[in-house]
């Protein structure tokens, strides 16, 4: 039976893995890149989309690799970015701006076409050789806006009380559940972050468009403008429709120039369908798995979601960065003689204190054997900073949110909700602290002291790791830098929490330089699983103890994707997408608290540019 299953499975996978060939001609190429929606940090750990016959969405790692290849490809004359539906984070914008500048330095023209343009789109597009807009397009430069949601009123209505303890006056992750607005400390922190982010955007646009920052601010304060008005103001280079833009490119680069929409994509297996036995050769190669690469390499390991104990999870209800998976990947990189340096890419608001410590210790041990560099994405705060602080060098973008050195603990008291709907409970206890985390009542004063003692210990350990990793690099007393305070990347650089401004590509190059590498490969750990791996695990053909990533259907946040809720969520997203993102983040945070009572986590900040 197993043999029949294997043959059927292999024939199915052969069709799924077929991919279009990349162009082999030596004629001039115009690389076309269309960014739609969010740009994920890493390639998917599990090729779930491939199982459904769907193409995977873009990710930052593959994007950087593609642009690096285009930069050195003499046949590539230009790169065209279509940004109409892009939803990029500030750190990703800054990373891609650097890539634009490097492409232009390599004498590649970078074109951006957009039918409508927001502030972050303008921040990226301003670094291109030319920004082209549709003549009747719109430019929305209203500034940046944030409206954090507070759920205490909702919890009051359903009879639920959030009991929160935190270390650090600026540790605000619990405030959405205990307040109807921010504390003065949280408000001060938020204003500092908003100032830093806004200034970074203004400075980028001003430098690229050869304007004064005051001019850019005046244009932003004007609010929405037409594409024609934006051109008159010096923000846009040319106005033309998409068809006219395509004809212009042909005229500029020649009629034989090829527009390549999947540049750098790997070819699928070549199958001679006239040979009835050719398929078995391909299936045999698939079952053997991909052979490990050889030669000098820099490993890239991702912490790109909430940090939790156990294995990393990826699925329809969200993902987590599991300490077991990350630790094993770091240990494997440390023991692999071909891997000469490691880059940890962190894009996470934190999570479990225990899981963060497991990863931090693995970083420390690996650093003792080979160069270890951290690259921070949009957010690397609280537990995200904890796992980074012991590295040799920390790279950060000016708009990255980091810091938040503090600890929070919380439990939800749900008795009022159950009373409201007529459900009663009777408790049985053995042990004075057996009901410490019970949702039937708030903590008593003596219990609060117990929780606070635990959290203070974790807080001291956190500060100890920061002191161990950063040492004399810190500028000022650590306690005045900690306490849950958050910083932009540029602000963190000023106080010594990070080392250099730069993106993932800069961090990889720095790691290679530290290892004295000439030619080297870049490898992602743990390696991505293909559809055959997933099917074989599901059919029991592979030992699950060897799995690095588990498929998850999610927890509290999964109800948003159920048939009953999905249409309403979709309607709310159309009306108020930022509010829905806040709701999803809050549910995810509650889910984390349901798993562990003490967390190193930062509040979700949703900005609207």
Q: Mean pLDDT of residues grouped by 10 in the chain (609 residues)? A: 49 46 62 87 65 62 92 93 85 94 95 91 94 92 86 89 85 88 92 93 95 95 91 95 91 89 68 53 53 84 91 70 93 96 95 92 96 96 95 96 91 85 79 83 90 90 95 93 94 97 96 95 83 52 53 52 61 60 71 68 63
Would you state the pLDDT for residue 59? 87
Q: What are phi and psi of 454, to 5 degrees?
A: -60, -45
Measured distance CA(383)–CA(353) in Å, rounded: 7
Name the CATH superfamily for 2-146+187-260.
Answer: 2-enoyl-CoA Hydratase; Chain A, domain 1 (3.90.226.10)
For residue 349, what is the DSSP state?
A: -
Element (H or E) spanning 334, and its range? helix 323-335
pTM, rounded to two decimals: 0.81
Token readout for 510 is 């720095």
Would you state the pLDDT for residue 481? 94
Measured distance CA(363)–CA(468) in Å, rounded: 13
Helix, strand, coil tally for the chain in percent (to 5): 45, 20, 35
Residue 377: which of 515, 469, 507 has the closest Cα? 507
* Three-state secondary-structure class, residue 209: coil
Query: Per-domain residue ranges for the chain?
Result: 2-146+187-260
Token readout for 213 is 């920052």
Q: Please calculate the CA angle 408-413-419 and round it to the nearest 5 degrees.
A: 170
Span 160-185, pLDDT tens digits: 888 888 888 888 888 888 999 999 99
Measured distance CA(513)–CA(527) in Å, rounded: 24
Burial class from Cβ neighbours inside 10 Å (0-12, 13-18, 19+) for residue 116 reads middle
Would you say 405 and 466 are in contact if contact means Cβ atoms under 8 Å apart? yes
* Number of DSSP helices (H) and strands (E) in the chain, helices first: 23, 25
Measured distance CA(135)–CA(226) in Å, rounded: 8
Task: Transcribe 46-67 into DSSP letters.
Answer: B-HHHHTT-PPPPBHHHHHHHH
Q: What are phi and psi of 166, to 5 degrees?
A: -140, 150
Strands 130-139 and 225-226: antiparallel
Would you state the pLDDT for residue 46? 60
Q: Please calculate the CA angle 576-580-586 and round it to the nearest 5 degrees.
A: 145
Would you state the pLDDT for residue 18? 44
* Three-state secondary-structure class, residue 208: helix
Would you state the pLDDT for residue 534? 52
């Amino acid at each position: 039976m197993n043999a029949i299953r294997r043959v059927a499975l292999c024939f199915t996978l052969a069709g799924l893995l077929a991919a279009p060939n990349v162009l082999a001609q030596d004629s001039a190429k115009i690389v076309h890149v269309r960014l739609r929606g969010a740009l994920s940090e890493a390639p998917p750990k599990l090729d779930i989309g491939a199982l459904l016959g769907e193409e995977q969405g873009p990710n930052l790692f593959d994007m950087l690799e593609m642009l690096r290849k285009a930069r050195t490809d003499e046949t590539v004359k230009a790169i065209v970015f279509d940004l109409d539906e892009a939803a990029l984070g500030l750190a990703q914008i800054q990373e891609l701006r650097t890539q634009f500048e490097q492409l232009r330095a390599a004498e590649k023209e970078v074109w951006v076409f957009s039918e409508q343009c927001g502030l972050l789109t303008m921040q990226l597009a301003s670094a291109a050789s030319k920004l082209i807009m549709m003549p009747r397009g719109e430019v929305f430069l209203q500034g940046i806006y944030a409206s954090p949601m507070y759920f205490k009123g909702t919890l009051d209505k359903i009879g639920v009380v959030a009991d929160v303890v935190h270390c650090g006056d600026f540790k605000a992750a619990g405030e959405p559940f205990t307040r109807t607005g921010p504390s003065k400390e949280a408000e001060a922190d938020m204003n500092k972050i908003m100032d830093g982010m806004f200034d970074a955007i203004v400075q980028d646009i001003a430098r690229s468009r050869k304007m004064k920052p005051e001019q850019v601010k005046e244009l932003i304060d004007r609010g929405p403008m037409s594409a024609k008005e934006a051109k008159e103001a010096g923000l846009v280079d040319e106005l033309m429709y998409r068809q006219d833009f395509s004809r212009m490119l042909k005229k500029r680069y020649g009629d034989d120039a090829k527009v390549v929409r999947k540049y750098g994509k790997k070819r699928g297996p070549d199958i001679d369908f006239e040979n009835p036995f050719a398929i078995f050769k391909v299936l045999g190669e698939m079952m053997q798995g991909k052979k490990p690469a050889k030669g000098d390499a820099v490993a890239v390991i991702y912490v790109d979601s909430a940090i939790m104990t156990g294995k990393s999870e990826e699925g329809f209800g969200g993902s987590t960065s599991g300490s077991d998976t990350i630790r094993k990947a770091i240990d494997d990189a440390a023991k692999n003689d071909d891997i000469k340096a490691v880059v940890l890419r962190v894009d996470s608001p934190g999570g479990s204190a225990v899981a963060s410590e497991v990863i931090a210790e693995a970083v420390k041990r690996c650093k003792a054997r080979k160069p270890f560099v951290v690259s921070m994405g949009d957010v690397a705060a609280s537990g995200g900073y904890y796992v980074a602080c012991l590295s040799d060098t920390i790279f950060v973008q000016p708009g990255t949110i980091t810091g938040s050195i503090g600890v929070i603990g919380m439990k939800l008291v749900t008795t009022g909700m159950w009373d409201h709907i007529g459900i009663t409970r009777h408790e049985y206890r053995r042990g004075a602290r057996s009901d410490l985390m019970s949702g039937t009542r708030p903590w008593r004063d003596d219990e609060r002291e117990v929780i606070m003692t635990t959290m203070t210990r974790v807080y001291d350990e956190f500060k100890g790791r920061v002191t161990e990793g950063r040492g004399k690099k810190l500028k000022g007393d650590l306690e005045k830098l900690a306490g849950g305070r958050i910083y932009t990347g540029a602000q963190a650089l000023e106080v010594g929490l990070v080392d250099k401004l730069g993106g993932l590509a800069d961090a990889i190059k720095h790691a290679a330089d530290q290892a004295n590498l000439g030619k080297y490969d870049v490898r992602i750990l743990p390696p991505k699983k293909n559809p055959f791996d997933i099917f074989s695990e599901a059919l029991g053909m592979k030992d699950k103890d060897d799995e690095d990533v588990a498929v998850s259907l999610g927890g509290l946040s999964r109800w948003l994707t159920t048939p009953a809720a999905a249409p309403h969520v979709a309607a709310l997203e159309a009306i108020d997408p930022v509010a829905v993102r806040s709701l999803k983040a809050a549910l995810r945070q509650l889910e984390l608290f349901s798993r562990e009572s003490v967390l190193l986590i930062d509040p979700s900040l949703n900005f609207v540019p």
